[in-house]
Copies of this chain bind each other. A is one copy, B any other.
Amino acid sequence: MSTLDIVGLCGSLRAASLNRMVLKLAASSMPQGMAMEVVEWRDVPPFDADLLAAQGMPPQVAALRERIRRADGVVIATPEYNFSIPGMLKNAIDWISRGEDQPFSQMPVALLSATPGPRGGAGVQYDLRKVLLYVNAMTLVKPEVFVGDAAAKFDAAGLCTDESTRRVVTGQMEAFAKWIAAVQRMN
């Protein structure tokens, strides 16, 4: 059986993003037979239907759509901005959702969010679930992962020092592996 190919997307563009650390924790917490590539989407341009009509899908978007389409699953770790989805992450989804062969359709997705404050990102995750439902993704139901007070849970090298967080993320990745298998059997 071949390795499950997982695309990791970080909702923040910041280099030292807590959510980037969470994404790497997820990558290193996966069960055997599953591997994540963190895919950068910084160069996705602003969505503009005129641009799409005049020039077709921009190459950065086409590449991102193609990369996701090839994957067996997508893991998104994202901060919460103003109680909802970071605008640029939503912009990337807006682009991805357009045109033929929409790559999120039937795609297994797992969500994590980390915040410096205690809440851990319920606002962003519920909005993102709604958007992902709209683009026909198969978002993992449980376990949900909210990493509150995240700055205290990673060291200077970006490694997780909190045993409980490690355990929760490991459990989610195990559930995600089963989820991917279940979705593949259904399709």
Contact = CB atoms under 8 A, between A and B. Distances in A.
Contacts of A47: 13, 81, 86-88
B14 A82 contact: no
Contacts of A85: 84-85, 87, 90
Nearest to A187: B178
Contacts of A127: 84, 127
Contacts of A82: 90, 93-94, 97, 131, 134-135
Interface string A123-149: 100110111011111110110100000
Contacts of A6: none
Name the residue in A47, A175, A183 with the highest tally of chain B Cβ atoms < 10 Å from its Cβ: A47
A42 B93 CA distance: 18
How many monomers of this protein are in the complex? 4
A14 B53 CA distance: 10
A123 B83 CA distance: 11
B94 A130 contact: no
Interface residues of A, number: 52
A33 to B, nearest CB: 17
B130 A84 contact: yes
A134 B183 CA distance: 22
A29 interface: no
Nearest to A91: B87
Name the residue in A81, A82, A92, A122 with the highest tally of chain B Cβ atoms < 10 Å from its Cβ: A82
Given A13-B46, A84-B84, 14 more contacts: A13-B49, A42-B46, A46-B91, A81-B97, A82-B97, A83-B133, A85-B87, A85-B90, A86-B94, A118-B118, A118-B119, A175-B186, A178-B186, A182-B183
